[in-house]
């Protein structure tokens, strides 16, 4: 496995990766986009910080890339849609710089409140402007926190120690959890109107870009102070400049900007009540080490098949859960590939029901694997385990997963019902005692088939001589049978024969099997 580190990473993270057998780690910092595009095809993993922009163009050239790891919170410098389409997992380190960013937020709140930066500059210029730089206290003031995740919650905790009242807007946070944190959850408009300070701790997305513009600023108190240590562009900078020019707000403190580095001519730099720092939220030695170690372990585990955590385009699976899920992920893909080659018509719906130990974990990776396997025979390399659900949705295919507590015929069972415009096809799969995948039912017929390699799937009337006839045809073609299994609806009724063979079966041999008496259907499958 080859891993490229394209932005400077703390040595503690690099050493973790270099110590793993089978990993080759290359550190190449400050590459131009064209240079990265030229070499990215050679790498399985890419670790970045904010300097590298992973664009669609670069991802198109990344033929072997499996994982992108961002040593930091955001992933706005990665084209997530293109990564998903390519089957590349994009992950970050949401916890590694929590403390450093929260402390930077408090530093800016305090600096803004006490005019620290302005007073410092004044003294450096030889002045003693004590009366000019009087400030305001935090005690008793209301802090509005937009986004009460790790960083927002930490900021809230710090601010409470200053005697501030905390209100927060977070549509994904329950009132009960907020109460445990000592925070009042309010609507966004209420937060705008009632806060003395407003701090932002949400990712930048299409929905949050420009979240605070002229309209929102006009809802706020004229004494409000805005702080942004999250992502540039969440506050509309043009609207912010206008508010500062018109004395519409008391001030702002920014660590992030719409365009970085900031143009030296930016109007934001001309206001005394606008405190600016050059994206220092994660710039502590402790944070750099923490995110480096965190992303090194995350990328290593993902490449080694030990679990995926903190991914923007794939469900998080811990190493412990992955040990349980891994054989089911493999089973599901094999079930999907098996079914996809037998279906008649276009797929409309896929319902997957889980029973047994797998229901104790997030089954989303298993679902994605089954859908990938199912649609792969039709879509080829345009579908993968990462983009499977997105591709299905784009094609109007409804995917439903059910974790059942009902007692099933098999202790641990994955069953899929696939509805096409011509039929409904069902397949059941389980694991044998040594965790080997087995298909145990196809439509109404119980079987015990091993979904591996080349398989000849046969529908036939349950009559004597079928097995011998098929065996003779294969023997005449010098094709060795690795295994064979049978099942039937009723004695003398519809039967299924599944024959595992050692190598591909020529079309003319398949046609000879089809011509065998009482054989109704034959299909060569590669799983």
Same domain, 204 and 297: no
Q: What is the DSSP string of 475-513?
A: HHTT--EEEEEEEESSTTSEEEEEEEESSPPPHHHHHHH
Q: From CA 317, how far away is CA 333, in angstroms rounded?
A: 17
Same domain, 119 and 252: yes
pLDDT for 269-307, tens place per residue?
Answer: 999 999 999 999 989 999 999 999 999 999 999 999 888
Same domain, 106 and 179: yes
CA–CA distance from 514 to each of 93, 413, 469, 483, 521 (Å)?
A: 56, 32, 11, 19, 7
Q: Which two tokens stand for residue 113?
A: 């409140």
Q: Is 195 helix (H, G, I), strand (E, B) or coil?
A: coil
Same domain, 262 and 295: no
Between strands 197-200 and 413-420, the pairing is unpaired
Q: From CA 404, how far away is CA 417, in angstroms rounded?
A: 15
CA neighbor of 172 nearest in space, from 185, 191, 159: 185
Residues 165/143, Cβ–Cβ less than 8 Å = yes
Q: Would you give per-residue pLDDT tens digits along the chain (527 residues)?
A: 999 999 999 999 999 999 999 999 999 999 999 999 999 999 999 999 989 999 999 999 999 999 999 998 778 899 999 999 999 999 999 888 899 999 999 999 999 999 999 999 999 999 999 999 999 999 999 999 999 988 999 999 999 999 999 999 988 677 788 888 899 999 999 999 999 999 999 888 778 999 999 999 999 999 999 999 999 999 999 999 999 999 999 999 999 999 999 999 999 999 999 999 999 998 999 999 999 999 999 999 999 988 898 898 898 888 889 889 999 999 999 999 999 999 998 899 999 999 999 999 999 999 999 999 999 888 887 788 898 998 899 889 999 999 998 888 899 999 999 999 999 999 999 999 889 999 999 999 999 999 999 999 999 999 999 989 999 999 999 999 999 999 999 999 999 999 999 999 999 999 999 999 999 999 999 99
**CATH for 156:** 3.40.50.720
Q: How many distinct helices (H) and strands (E) make up the chain? A: 17, 22
Task: Tell whether 311 is covered by a domain.
Answer: no
Owning domain of residue 39:
2-95+287-303
- The reply to whether 279 belongs to the active site is yes
Catalytic residue among 150, 201, 231, 297: 231
Helix (H) or strand (E) holding 285: helix 285-303
Same domain, 291 and 221: no
The DSSP bridge partners found for residue 486 are 497
Q: Cα–chain-centroid distance for residue 187?
A: 28
Q: What contacts 24+ positions apart, CB below 8 Å, involve 85-89?
A: 85/59, 85/387, 85/390, 86/59, 86/60, 86/62, 86/384, 86/386, 86/387, 87/384, 87/385, 87/386, 87/387, 88/59, 88/62, 88/386, 89/302, 89/308, 89/311, 89/313, 89/314, 89/386
Q: From CA 390, how far away is CA 67, in angstroms rounded?
A: 18
Task: Tell whether 309 is covered by a domain.
Answer: no
Same domain, 112 and 84: no
Q: How many CB atoms lie within 10 A of CB 44?
A: 18
Same domain, 119 and 228: yes
Q: How many CB atoms lie within 10 A of CB 342?
A: 17
- The reply to whether 231 belongs to the active site is yes
Among 389, 413, 438, where does a domain finish? 438
- The radius of gyration of the chain from alpha carbons, rounded to an integer in Å, stands at 30
What is the reported pTM? 0.70
Sheet holding 89-91, edge to edge: 24-27, 2-5, 45-48, 67-70, 89-91
Residues 475/369, Cβ–Cβ less than 8 Å = no
Catalytic residue among 49, 150, 279, 297: 279
CA neighbor of 249 nearest in space, from 259, 261, 262, 235: 235
Q: Identify the DSSP state of 212.
A: B
| Backbone CA torsion sign across 110, 112, 118, 119 | negative
pLDDT for 390-406, tens place per residue?
Answer: 889 988 999 999 999 88
Same domain, 203 and 352: no
**CATH for 527:** 3.30.70.260
Q: Is 355 helix (H, G, I), strand (E, B) or coil?
A: strand
Domain total in the chain:
4
Same domain, 494 and 381: no
**CATH for 399:** 3.30.1330.90
Task: Tell whether 56 is covered by a domain.
Answer: yes
CA neighbor of 2 nearest in space, from 16, 15, 17, 11: 17
- The reply to whether 260 belongs to the active site is yes
Q: From CA 165, how far away is CA 138, in angstroms rounded?
A: 10
């Amino acid at each position: 496995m080859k891993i490229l580190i394209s932005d400077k990473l703390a040595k503690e993270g690099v050493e973790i990766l270099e110590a793993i057998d089978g990993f080759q780690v290359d550190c190449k910092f400050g590459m131009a986009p064209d240079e990265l595009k030229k070499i990215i095809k050679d790498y399985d993993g890419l670790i970045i910080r904010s300097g590298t922009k992973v664009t669609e163009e670069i991802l198109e050239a990344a033929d072997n890339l499996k994982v992108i790891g961002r040593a930091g919170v955001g992933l706005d410098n990665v084209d997530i849609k293109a990564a998903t389409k390519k089957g590349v997992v994009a992950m970050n380190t949401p916890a590694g710089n929590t403390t450093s960013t929260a402390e930077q937020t408090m530093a800016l709140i305090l600096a803004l409140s006490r005019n620290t930066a302005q007073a410092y500059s004044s003294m450096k210029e030889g002045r003693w402007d004590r009366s000019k730089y009087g400030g305001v206290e935090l005690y008793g003031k209301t802090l509005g926190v937009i986004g009460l995740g790790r960083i927002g919650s930490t900021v809230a905790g710090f601010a409470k120690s200053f005697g501030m009242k905390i209100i927060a807007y977070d549509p994904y946070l329950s009132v009960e959890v907020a109460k445990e944190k000592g925070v009042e959850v309010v609507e966004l408009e209420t937060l705008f109107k009632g806060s003395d300070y407003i701090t932002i701790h949400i990712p930048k997305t299409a929905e949050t870009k420009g979240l605070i513009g002229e309209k929102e600023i006009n809802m706020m108190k004229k004494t409000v102070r805005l702080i942004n240590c999250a992502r540039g562009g969440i506050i509309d900078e043009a609207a912010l400049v206008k508010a500062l020019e018109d004395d519409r707000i008391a001030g702002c403190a920014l660590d992030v900007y719409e365009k970085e580095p900031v143009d030296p001519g930016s109007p934001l730099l001309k206001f005394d009540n606008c405190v600016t720092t050059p994206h220092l939220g994660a710039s502590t030695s402790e944070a750099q080490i923490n995110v480096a170690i965190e992303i090194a372990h995350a990328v290593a585990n993902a490449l080694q098949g030990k679990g995926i955590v903190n991914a923007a385009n794939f469900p998080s699976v811990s190493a412990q859960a992955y040990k349980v899920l891994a054989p089911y992920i493999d089973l599901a893909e094999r079930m999907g590939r098996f079914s996809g080659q037998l279906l008649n018509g276009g797929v409309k719906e896929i319902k997957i029901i889980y029973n047994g130990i797998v229901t104790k974990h997030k089954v989303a990776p298993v679902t994605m694997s089954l859908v990938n396997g199912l649609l792969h025979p039709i879509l080829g390399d345009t579908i993968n385990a990462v983009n499977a659900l997105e591709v299905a949705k784009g094609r109007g295919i409804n995917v439903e997963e059910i974790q059942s507590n009902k007692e099933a015929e098999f202790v641990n069972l994955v069953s899929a019902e696939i509805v096409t415009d011509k039929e409904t096809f069902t397949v059941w799969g389980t694991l044998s005692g040594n965790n080997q995948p087995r298909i145990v039912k196809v439509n109404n017929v119980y079987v015990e088939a091993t979904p591996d390699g080349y398989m000849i799937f046969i529908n036939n009337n349950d009559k004597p001589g079928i097995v011998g006839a098929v065996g003779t045809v294969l023997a005449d073609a010098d094709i060795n049978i690795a295994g064979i299994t049978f099942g039937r609806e009723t004695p003398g009724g519809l039967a299924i024969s599944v024959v595992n063979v050692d190598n591909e079966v020529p079309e003319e041999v398949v046609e000879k099997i089809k011509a065998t008496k009482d054989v109704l259907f034959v299909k060569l499958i590669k799983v």
